[in-house]
Structure 1
Amino acid sequence: MLKFKLYYDKDAEEVWLREMSLKGWAFKKFFLGFYTFESCEPGEYNYQIDLLDNWSGNKSDYVSFMEDLGVEVIEQWWRWVYLRKKAIDGPFEMYTDAESKIDLYSKIINFFKIVLVIEAICFFMELTATILTGNFMYGIFTVLVGAISLAILNVVWKCKWKIEQLKNEEIRMY
């Protein structure tokens, strides 16, 4: 089965992949918003998504480490890595303590900040072209790039909010 979805929120994407598994569809492949699924036992897999520190170099150590933990690396899309583990093997959570979750969300924020700056530059270039030429097509692209920029900004805000929640939980624990 092939499904198209655009996710900017890794947590929501993990929930959706888990729901698909509960319906008997195992995630197999990803490319530009297209998810490929294959039939499986309902609820057979749990999924996690990780963000690598960088996308260059040898990733075989990462894959070997995951395999030693009983985790299968399904797909890598740029720095994003899709992982799954058999549900029968127990819960699957890559980041279990507040500090490691804060580190992950900080990496995601830094990644998306770079993308946001690029999108903002593109937005202002498109806006300038629209104003100078009055071309309708430039206006459409301006709106599209603006919407993408807002979606990315939303990811940054959500991650900042999650970091604040985790920090507050840490403070309450002490």
Structure 2
Amino acid sequence: MLKFKLYYDKDAEEEWLQKMSSEGWALKKFFLGFYTFEPCEPGEYNYQIDLLDNWSGNKADYASFMEDLGVEVIDQWWRWVYLRKKAVDGPFEMYTDVNSKIALYSKILNFFKIFLVIESICFFIEFAATIRTGYFMFGVFSVLLGAISLAMLKMVWKCKWKIEQLEQEEI
């Protein structure tokens, strides 16, 4: 089965993958919002999504390390890695302590900050072109880039909020 969804929120995406697993669908492949699923036993897998520190590292070493932990690397898209573990092997949580969760959400925050800046610059350039030329297509692209910028801003706020909540837990 092939499904298309756009997620900017790692937690929401993990919840959805978990729901699909509970309905008997295991993630097989991911590419740019297209999720390929194959049938499985309902609830057979638990899912996690990780953000690598950089995307040029040795992916084979990472996959081998995960395999040693009983975790299967399903797919990788740029720095995002989709992981699963058999539910019968117990709970699957990559980041268990508060400090490691803060570090993860800080990485995600910085990732989205970069894209927020890039998308915002593109939006203002496109918006200026719309005003200067009056072309309809420039306006359409301005709206699209504005929507993407708002989605990035929402993720920046959400990551900051999550980090603040974790810091409160730590106290």
TM-score (norm 1): 0.97
Aligned to 1:60: 60
Q: 4+ runs of 1 displaced by more than 3 Å?
A: none
Task: Report the RMSD for the aligned CA atoms in angstroms.
Answer: 0.6
Aligned to 2:130: 130
The separation in 2 between residues aligned to 1:68 and 1:106, in whole angstroms, is 27
Aligned to 2:166: 166
The separation in 1 between residues aligned to 2:107 and 2:162, in whole angstroms, is 13
CA positional deviation for 1:58: 1.4
CA positional deviation for 1:97: 0.6
Task: Name the aligned partner's letter for residue 97 of structure 2.
Answer: D
Aligned to 1:94: 94
Tell me, which stretches of 5 or more residues in structure 2 are unaligned?
Answer: none
CA positional deviation for 1:57: 2.8
The separation in 1 between residues aligned to 2:165 and 2:144, in whole angstroms, is 32
The separation in 1 between residues aligned to 2:57 and 2:166, in whole angstroms, is 32
Aligned to 1:28: 28
The separation in 1 between residues aligned to 2:25 and 2:57, in whole angstroms, is 32
Aligned to 2:77: 77
Aligned to 2:144: 144
The separation in 2 between residues aligned to 1:68 and 1:32, in whole angstroms, is 28
CA positional deviation for 1:50: 0.2
TM-score (norm 2): 0.99
The separation in 2 between residues aligned to 1:97 and 1:58, in whole angstroms, is 26
Percent same amino acid at aligned positions? Answer: 82
The separation in 2 between residues aligned to 1:18 and 1:58, in whole angstroms, is 28
The separation in 2 between residues aligned to 1:57 and 1:161, in whole angstroms, is 30
User: Can you list the C-alpha shifts for 1:101-134, whole angstroms capped at 9, x where unaligned?
Assistant: 0000000011111111110110011000000001
The separation in 1 between residues aligned to 2:36 and 2:52, in whole angstroms, is 22
Task: Name the aligned partner's letter for residue 71 of structure 1.
Answer: V
Tell me, which stretches of 5 or more residues in structure 1 are unaligned?
Answer: none
Task: Name the aligned partner's letter for residue 45 of structure 2.
Answer: Y
Range with greater deviation from structure 2 (55-64 or 107-116): 55-64
The separation in 2 between residues aligned to 1:169 and 1:54, in whole angstroms, is 28
The separation in 2 between residues aligned to 1:58 and 1:89, in whole angstroms, is 27
CA positional deviation for 1:59: 1.5
The separation in 2 between residues aligned to 1:36 and 1:25, in whole angstroms, is 9
The separation in 2 between residues aligned to 1:103 and 1:3, in whole angstroms, is 31
> How many pairs does the alignment contain?
171
CA positional deviation for 1:61: 1.4
The separation in 2 between residues aligned to 1:30 and 1:152, in whole angstroms, is 21
Determine helix, strand or coil for the equivalent of 1:56.
Answer: coil
Aligned to 2:40: 40
Determine helix, strand or coil for the equivalent of 1:70.
Answer: coil
Task: Name the aligned partner's letter for residue 151 of structure 2.
Answer: A
